Amino acid sequence: MFSIILISHGQMSQGILHSSEMIFGKQEDVVAVSLNPDEGPDDFRKKLEEAIASLGNTEKILFLADLWGGTPFNQASNLINEKEKGGDWLITAGMNLPMVIESYSARFSGQDPKDVIKGIVGEAKKGVKVFPEEFNPQEEKPAALAKKAGSANLPTSGQIQYVLARIDTRLLHGQVATGWTKAANPDRIIVVSDNVAKDKLRKNMIAQAAPSGVPANTVPIKKMAEVAKDVRFGKTKAMLLFETPEDALKAIESGVDIKELNVGSMAYSNGKVNVNQVLAMDQEDVDTLKKLRDMGVKFDVRKVPNSSPENMDELLKKAQSLIDGNK
């Protein structure tokens, strides 16, 4: 009988575990792991590793995640990618109560997670209904979808449109995959990074973290500059993600025409100073952001879409003052 780990932002996983046990009874080798507001990816991974160690069966585990591409999903995905035999560990996103209850039923059959996953996902979808029933949305028929796809032609003119260009150390995670994707409405996410483009594991993680219907790719900066001039991408609405301000500057200097940068997250590391809760800078960062500003690039300093924008000039002054004070 395989083990089950429920993972989520906040206490959702704990709540679903409690609700499912009210219906199905106390379950052996089923645990819940929550990402709290004051915790980061490393904190969650440690809790996840401890939860796995507490299970009787660690060879076969089904992770049920709240959100595809969020930190809980990504950290579980990391563990699966690092495991020598990842086939016995699986993740399903979109966790709801019907999915969890079906998982309990399925594991008593003695099958592996990969053998029951279709039924679990199907039950989760069936659990999403509207009452009165006449308001249930009707799914579009496959033939109509095929007709739409066949009618699309590659453009012969125009340039790629950037609906959002964001600096975020974490690149593609839950806040980006949900909040910013919905706000900007891209049809493609592009991570622009020479370092990540060379890292097969991180590239796979980014592709897996993409929200439904919006593919995610990773390209080096030089390739992005080529794509920017390619008329075949003239109909593309892209969200660009940069790991650092330096990468954004290199891309712009290479010909990627970005008018505004959303600055969402710059993680702390040795030698940097904390400017606010999500931005840490060193002298190179300050100089780079000033250069971008002098080039006419505007800044939208927001972690999530509904945050109030902060003033970049004031943040740069604060950062410089803190850096000078540490000398």
User: Catalytic residue at 18?
Assistant: no
Q: Are strands 273-274 and 280-281 parallel, antiparallel or unpaired?
A: antiparallel
Q: How far is CA 196 from CA 170, 174, 316, in A?
A: 11, 19, 27
* Residue reference for tokens 């083990």: 3
Find, among 260, 177, 247, the residue nearest to 216 by Cα.
Answer: 177
Of 9, 107, 166, 302, catalytic: 9
Of 45, 47, 60, 173, catalytic: 173
Q: What share of the chain is helix, strand, coil (3-state, %, to 5)?
A: 45, 20, 35
User: Catalytic residue at 9?
Assistant: yes
Half-sphere exposure of 42 (CA within 13 A, CB side): 1
Q: Which two tokens stand for residue 207?
A: 């592709």
Residue type, 109: S
Number of C-beta neighbours around residue 298 at 10 A: 12
Q: Which two tokens stand for residue 57?
A: 């069966």
Residues with Cβ within 8 Å of 30's Cβ and at least 6 positions away in sequence, in order, are 3, 4, 5, 6, 17, 104
Give the span between the Cα atoms of 111 and 103, in whole angstroms: 11
Q: Which residues are catalytic?
A: 9, 173
